Structure 1
Amino acid sequence: MRRWLGRPRLCLLQAARAAPRPRDPPRAPAGTRGWCGSAAGRPSMTPLPLSYTVFDGPAPQPPLVFLHGLLGSKGNFRAIARALVQRSGRKPDLVERLVSVDISPTESVTVTNFQAYISAMRRVSIPSGIPRSTARRLAEDQLRPVIQVSAVRRFLLTNLVEAEGQYMWRVNLEAISHHMANIMGFPAFHSPYPGPTLFLAGSDSPYVSSEDYPEIERLFPEAEIQYISGAGHWVHADKSQEFITAICNFLLLP
């Protein structure tokens, strides 16, 4: 739900579903240590393959990267990506900047319904060998008693995929459910990020409130907070043009 924005050339990233563990971990870049292995008693980590789409802009500059939110996908920002590529040119004077879209550096458990969404999705049962349109309709019917907002149901149904006649969710619902407290929490950081930062929120969303301002100021001393009127949590979908304009203004793009 946090998106890092740098300079022109845009890349959309998402975690690959059920990514296989590589037999031989990638070698660490020259001059680095502990990239894949363990150090100082810390558990070893293996890089996770990512699915991504690159929209090449006119300049080979460091990329402008969107990281989508929980249960989202890189496809959610395809139209936004094209629009930003068209409006970005060679701008070597731009520095790296951070944009946090409708999320605060605080715990969000009390303002989210994701736990209910996950539980409802896990209960969905769809027979195999039926058309995709029928499967989507059956899944939506089973989600409707818990999730009354049709836009939310349609968003969740973008995760319904078919493989060899079997319908499944492309996100790991079991892992998300077991780690929801960590996902909706926020780790303790003591060193602030000193660069320019924009917290871009929807006026109709509870994710960025005045109660969060002290922590935002502590961790992001150069932050500005902007609300887009009439937008909910999915700011980019509710008010796409205003969303694009706000980002372009922040990045000093034409």
Structure 2
Amino acid sequence: MFPNLLKTVTFMGRHVIGRSLSSGNQLVPLELSFNVYDMVQSASHGSPVLVLHGLFGSKYNWNSLSKAFHQKTKPTRKIYSIDARNHGDSPHSEVHSYDHMVTDLVELHRKLNIKKASVIGHSMGGRAMMLLALKYPQLVDRAIIVDISPTTGLGTSNTDIPLFLQSMQLIQIGADQTIHQARKIADEQLAKIIDAKPLRDFLITNLVKSESDGSFRWRINLDALEQNFTTGVARFPDCSAMQYTGPTLFIAGGRSDYIKKSDIPTIKRLFPNSEIKVVEGAGHWVHSEKSAEFAKLVLDFLNA
């Protein structure tokens, strides 16, 4: 079934494979939504690339870069840009941890009949990809980790994430508003606690209008993310007994503190075949703030 499906998908085709939900703390996989980029016809293909966004993000944040990666990898690689659980078009669940996210990714490998893939993950998605490589190294060809480290805690710029989640829950918008009006209302209310307009704009990309009754909702599961933030997002599992020896590239923003000098020994212990590149002038969202520099680093690494 899946080999045939992969041969017939169109460029940037959108897929949702199932809607199963997990319950309790059991590691029950969710079947994730993703976009696939597979337009370039080539006689030779490298292993596919799985891309996973960070907290509050979605697969659409990686649209332009995924196109570029697909078109410029040599040999050509199919790119899958994925929505994490409790984000985008993927199912919601009351549980959210890196172990759960890895279970989802392993299920995606199985469903798509992917034997081995290169992986790219930003922030929360980077930690999920790190844990995937550490727990299931046979599934990962090479790893690119964007502005996050395998240590507990997050950079200082995101210390108020629980407050962001609580504030988003308090926003109320009438169904008679247009999406443009609703986003303006949300921006005005979020501005009371978040000074940075780019950050507010990023959060508001998750506001959507229901086609059935016109009501507004958040695509992300605010309740689950708030309840699981401390243990499921801010804390990386203890992986001291694990190691991924495949090629690994860490890309850090020069203005970000999500990868600290004190993290380097841990990075080198868990990922001995790793290198760290710093993109000067970029903050935490390296891939959007310095997209050209970021894309070159990724392509050089994938094409090596």
Pick the TM interval, shorter chain.
0.7 to 0.9
- Within the candidate set 30, 44, 47, 1:48 is matched to 30
In the TM superposition, residue 250 of structure 1 has moved relative to its aligned partner by: 1.4
Structure 2 equivalent of residue 141 of structure 1: 188
Structure 2 equivalent of residue 100 of structure 1: 145
In the TM superposition, residue 20 of structure 1 has moved relative to its aligned partner by: 4.3
Structure 2 equivalent of residue 176 of structure 1: 225
Structure 2 equivalent of residue 72 of structure 1: 57
2:267 alignment partner AA: I
In the TM superposition, residue 107 of structure 1 has moved relative to its aligned partner by: 1.4
For residues 161-203 of structure 1, the C-alpha deviation after alignment (integer angstroms, 9 at most, x for no partner) is 1112110101110000000112110000111111111110100
Q: Which has the higher contact order (CA 8 A, sep 6+)?
A: 1
User: 2: CA distance between counterparts of 1:197 and 1:81?
Assistant: 19
For residues 29-64 of structure 1, the C-alpha deviation after alignment (integer angstroms, 9 at most, x for no partner) is xxxxxxx9xxxxxx7543212110000143444311
In the TM superposition, residue 87 of structure 1 has moved relative to its aligned partner by: 0.8
**1:246 maps onto 2:291 in alignment:** no
Structure 1 equivalent of residue 47 of structure 2: 62
User: 2: CA distance between counterparts of 1:222 and 1:21?
Assistant: 37
Helix, strand or coil for the counterpart of 2:51? strand
Q: Is the 8 A contact 1:124 1:142 kept in 2?
A: yes
User: 2: CA distance between counterparts of 1:109 and 1:218?
Assistant: 20
User: 2: CA distance between counterparts of 1:166 and 1:108?
Assistant: 36
Structure 2 equivalent of residue 21 of structure 1: 20
Matches within 5 A, 1:1-254: 20-21=19-20, 44-56=26-38, 57=40, 58=42, 59-90=44-75, 96-109=141-154, 111=156, 112-113=158-159, 114-163=161-210, 164-182=213-231, 183-189=233-239, 190-252=241-303
Aligned residues: 220
User: 1: CA distance between counterparts of 2:287 and 2:154?
Assistant: 22
Structure 1 equivalent of residue 94 of structure 2: none
2:57 alignment partner AA: G
Rg comparison, structure with higher value: 1
> Root-mean-square deviation (CA), in Å?
2.6
In the TM superposition, residue 110 of structure 1 has moved relative to its aligned partner by: 5.6
Q: Is the 8 A contact 2:190 2:200 kept in 1?
A: yes
- What residue ranges of structure 1 are gaps of 5+ in the alignment? 1-10, 23-35, 37-42
TM-score scaled by structure 2?
Answer: 0.67
Helix, strand or coil for the counterpart of 2:201? helix
Structure 1 equivalent of residue 85 of structure 2: none
Where in structure 1 do 4 or more consecutive aligned residues deviate above 4 Å? none
Q: Against the structure 1 CA distance between its residues 133 and 109, is the aligned structure 2 distance closer, same or farther, given a 3 Å change threshold? A: same
Q: Is the 8 A contact 1:109 1:181 kept in 2?
A: no
Q: Is the 8 A contact 2:149 2:263 kept in 1?
A: yes
1:104 alignment partner AA: S
- What residue ranges of structure 2 are gaps of 5+ in the alignment? 1-10, 78-116, 119-140
2:230 alignment partner AA: A
Q: Against the structure 1 CA distance between its residues 21 and 216, is the aligned structure 2 distance closer, same or farther, given a 3 Å change threshold? A: same
User: 1: CA distance between counterparts of 2:261 and 2:34?
Assistant: 35
